[in-house]
Chain A
Amino acid sequence: GAGVSQSPSNKVTEKGKDVELRCDPISGHTALYWYRQSLGQGLEFLIYFQGNSAPDKSGLPSDRFSAERTGGSVSTLTIQRTQQEDSAVYLCASSLVGVRETQYFGPGTRLLVL
């Protein structure tokens, strides 16, 4: 595709519900990253995929957060039993390979947990 796409662009949910966020990376990019950006805060790394494998999940805040990638392309970030502190913009990026490669970001999903 022309760029990284994410859906939904906005999501409002009630505390305790599960949500799924989707990322479509740039075609041919083998590396995919999830970040989180809370209001007025910097970028927080969540997870890194190389192909379908996740060599680094160290940034996932709790076991309520999980992510998978299938077919070396689309990735889904799932947050179970959402809490108000999960409210943030969730950003996905992709790069051609991995280490030191330029990362290109999607527009983000704005999650609001009421």
Chain B
Amino acid sequence: DAKTTQPTSMDCAEGRAANLPCNHSTISGNEYVYWYRQIHSQGPQYIIHGLKNNETNEMASLIITEDRKSSTLILPHATLRDTAVYYCIVHNDYKLSFGAGTTVTVRA
């Protein structure tokens, strides 16, 4: 699987949008971009995934650049419960590999 680069940490104000960037410059044509998050002491939670087009679900939106070398996860209205480690993964296999992720802290 291709490698991803994410900022180590970021803060976000409660109620505001959180924009989480991810670089995946070596992504290949059949690899999907997946986002998971892990709240402290819980199992990873699936958020969203996409191949080429932008995607939206009840949790978040995923914006993928036209060249697919980077993407942004958007949490439209962050709440305190969104505090977690967010993992961006590029994946076309069955083995998931999480890097260090971005530690997002939502502050009141």
Please determine whether chains A and B interact with each other in the same assembly: yes
Q: In the complex, what distance in Å separates the CA atom of A108 from the CA atom of B43?
A: 6
Query: What is the chain B residue whose CB lies nearest that of A42?
Result: B98
A interface size (C-beta, 8 A): 23
Q: Give 1 or 0 for each of B64-87: 1 = CB within 8 Å of chain A CB.
A: 000000000000000000000000
Residues of A near B91 (CB, < 8 A) are 100
Query: What is the chain B residue whose CB lies nearest that of A105?
Result: B43
Of B8-16, B21-29, B44-52, the one with at least 4 CB within 8 A of chain A: B44-52
A67 contacts partner chain B, Cβ-Cβ < 8 Å: no
Q: Quick check: B46 and A42 within 8 Å, CB to CB?
A: no
Q: Give 1 or 0 for each of A90-114: 1 = CB within 8 Å of chain B CB.
A: 0101010011101111111000000
Q: Quick check: B93 and A99 within 8 Å, CB to CB?
A: yes
Q: In the complex, what distance in Å separates the CA atom of A103 from the CA atom of B95?
A: 10
Q: Quick check: A33 and B94 within 8 Å, CB to CB?
A: yes
In the complex, chain A residues 81-95 whose Cβ is within 8 Å of any chain B Cβ:
91, 93, 95
Question: Contact partner of A99 among B34, B45, B49, B94, CB < 8 A?
Answer: B94
Chain B interface secondary structure, helix, strand, loop or mixed?
Answer: loop
Residues of A near B46 (CB, < 8 A) are 102-105
Question: Contact partner of B43 among A56, A91, A99, A100, CB < 8 A?
Answer: A91
Question: Contact partner of B94 among A31, A105, A106, A107, CB < 8 A?
Answer: A31
Q: In the complex, what distance in Å separates the CA atom of A33 from the CA atom of B100?
A: 21
Question: Contact partner of A100 among B42, B92, B98, CB < 8 A?
Answer: B92
Residues of B near A108 (CB, < 8 A) are 42-43
Q: In the complex, what distance in Å separates the CA atom of A4 from the CA atom of B49?
A: 20
Question: Contact partner of B95 among A45, A104, A105, A107, CB < 8 A?
Answer: A45
Question: Contact partner of A45 among B32, B34, B43, B97, CB < 8 A?
Answer: B97
Q: In the complex, what distance in Å separates the CA atom of A72 from the CA atom of B24?
A: 35
- Pick from B34, B44, B94, B96 the residue with the most CB of A within 10 Å: B94
Asked if A100 meets B44 with Cβ closer than 8 Å, knowing A42-B98, A42-B100, A43-B98, the reply is: no
